[in-house]
Amino acid sequence: MIHTVPETGSTNADLAARLRAGEALGEGYWLVADRQTAGRGRQGRTWFDGHGNFMGSTIVRPHERDPAPSSLALLAGVALYEAVVPLISTPGNLSLKWPNDLMLGGAKLAGILLEREGDAIIVGIGVNLAAAPDLPDRRTVALSSYGPAPDRDTFASSLASGFDRELERWRTYGLDPLVRRWESIAHAHGTPLNVHPPGEEPISGAFAGLTEAGALRLRLAGGEERVIHAGDVMLAEEEG
């Protein structure tokens, strides 16, 4: 079910408030906004609310035997990629960037934000369908730069269906096939990355794939490998 509202502060915050109030929201429910006035990205960044873009959130209620909830960022990324790739004529320019971005031609097209509320995980997704923000620290892009902007409601239905399929695969087959699929549509091994782990100085290295648990493997200049479990990651070509 997709519920659309003309305006809200944040679809993630709205779902969190409804869960705290005891509302029995189930998996498969999406809240989509025409406009957000207080949308958020990772590390408190503003989530751009350009008219015609996709801004929506859904809920996952992890089961005891499910993979780690943090891997839902990888799941959402694969579902997002599959929803976007039919809309562009140059699919080779589309790739995932750990932990939660979809890139087009080296610029950010879409992002994912996971937040926990009680026993539920809220998955927020923003996609630049019609317009992209002008950010000082990174390049951004909208699908409208590659042709007519996709219809938001049609895109929402496609993404919701794809997310449901990926969720079923995640539960049925576990994390290993998801990690392999994610890597197959990520930027190439050896891609230069700049990583800012929480509470540390930024470090540079090359993409060396993911661990079995879905963490980032970063190859440093001396050849040693560093496993990154959290942090802000930038492609060298992405920085503005």
Give the chain's mean pLDDT.
92
Cα distances (Å, whole numbers) of residue 240 to 108, 139, 188: 11, 5, 21
**Sorting pLDDT into bands at 50, 70 and 90, what band is 23?**
very high
> For the whole model, what pTM was predicted?
0.92
> Which pLDDT does position 136 carry in this prediction?
74
What is the structure's pLDDT at 98?
96
Percent of the chain clearing pLDDT 70 (strictly above) = 94
β-pair type (192-196, 203-210) = antiparallel
**pLDDT exceeds cutoff 70 at 212:** yes
The whole-angstrom separation of Cα 83 and Cα 55 is 14
Q: How far apart are CA 98 and CA 111, in angstroms?
A: 10
pLDDT at 42 over 50: no
* Cβ within 8 Å of residue 82, ≥6 positions away: 162, 166
- Sort residue 140 into left (φ over 0), alpha (ψ -120 to 50) or beta: beta
What average pLDDT does the segment 138-163 reach? 94
The answer on pLDDT for 21 being more than 50 is yes
Residue 239's pLDDT is 64
Is the pLDDT score of 43 beyond 50? no
C-alpha 120/C-alpha 238 separation (Å) is 33
**pLDDT tens per residue across span 91-148:** 889 999 999 999 999 999 999 999 999 999 999 999 999 999 887 778 999 999 988 9
Nearest CA-CA partner of 234 in 216, 221, 222: 216
